[in-house]
Amino acid sequence: MIRVKVAVGIILRDNSVFVALRNSKQHQGGLWEFPGGKCEASESAEVALVRELKEECGISITECEFFKTISHDYGDKSVELFFYKVTGFDGEPVGKEGQEVRWVAVSDLVSYDFPEANKPIVVALMAHY
Ligand SMILES: Nc1nc2c([nH]c(=O)n2[C@@H]2O[C@H](COP(=O)(O)OP(=O)(O)OP(=O)(O)O)[C@@H](O)[C@H]2O)c(=O)[nH]1
Ligand SMILES: [Mg+2]
């Protein structure tokens, strides 16, 4: 099965994180996500992260830190997700592609439905905030 490499940004400010609702037509649609997307051929995860957050949220990253890698097989698709904590950025994040977005207190993340691969990330974040 093909495995896609994905760069994902956990955009943090104070004790809140910026989340977006995946369109119903997308893979894992109707679930909340941390913004990000597929790395292009021979593109590093960090370069893809900067590009995707600009495209999807309109921000320019000024400070980020690698957090965790998660590999997950959804059955129809296998993903390798590179999660980064984004702690500095220029601009105010919005849903540039029309997606519903929200700042959510990290302690409230448990109330949001994320794709299966994100579950260990949500648990790890909640343990630290
Ligand atoms: N962006 C993002 N993708 C995630 C997360 N968790 C997770 O399993 N994924 C999976 O990662 C894969 C790629 O993400 P994506 O659909 O955002 O890719 P993209 O922005 O390049 O989208 P496109 O295909 O519309 O161009 C999808 O299969 C998606 O289900 C997450 O928190 N954020
Ligand atoms: Mg995306």
How large is the ipTM? 0.96
Q: Which residue puts its alpha carbon closest to atom 2 of ligand 1? A: 36
Note the pLDDT of residue 119.
97
Pick the ligand that lies closest to the CA of residue 8. 1
- 27 C-alpha vs ligand 2 centroid, how far in Å? 10
DSSP 81-127: EEEEEEEEEES----TTS--EEEEEGGGGGGS---GGGHHHHHHHHH
Pick the ligand that lies closest to the CA of residue 35. 1
Can you tell me the distance from the alpha carbon of 82 to that of 95, in angstroms, rounded to the nearest whole number? Answer: 21
Q: Is the pLDDT of residue 1 over 80?
A: no
Can you tell me the distance from the alpha carbon of 106 to that of 2, in angstroms, rounded to the nearest whole number? Answer: 33
Pocket lining for ligand 1, CB < 6 angstroms: 6, 8, 26-28, 33-38, 52, 77, 79, 81, 115, 117-118
Which domain range does residue 38 map to? 3-128
Task: Specify the CATH number for the domain of residue 8.
Answer: 3.90.79.10
Can you tell me the distance from the alpha carbon of 20 to that of 94, in angstroms, rounded to the nearest whole number? Answer: 9
| Residue 33 marked in a binding site | yes
pLDDT, tens only, 69-110: 999 999 999 999 999 999 999 999 999 999 999 999 999 999
Note the pLDDT of residue 104.
98
Note the pLDDT of residue 110.
95
Query: Which value, in Å, is the radius of gyration of the alpha carbons in the chain?
Result: 14
Domain count, the chain: 1
Q: Is the pLDDT of residue 2 over 90?
A: no
Helices and strands, counts by H and E, the chain: 2, 7
Q: What share of the chain is helix, strand, coil (3-state, %, to 5)?
A: 25, 40, 35
Note the pLDDT of residue 91.
98
Q: Is the pLDDT of residue 14 over 80?
A: yes
pLDDT, tens only, 16-65: 999 999 999 999 999 999 999 999 999 999 999 999 999 999 999 999 99
- 8 C-alpha vs ligand 2 centroid, how far in Å? 8
Amino acid at 11: I
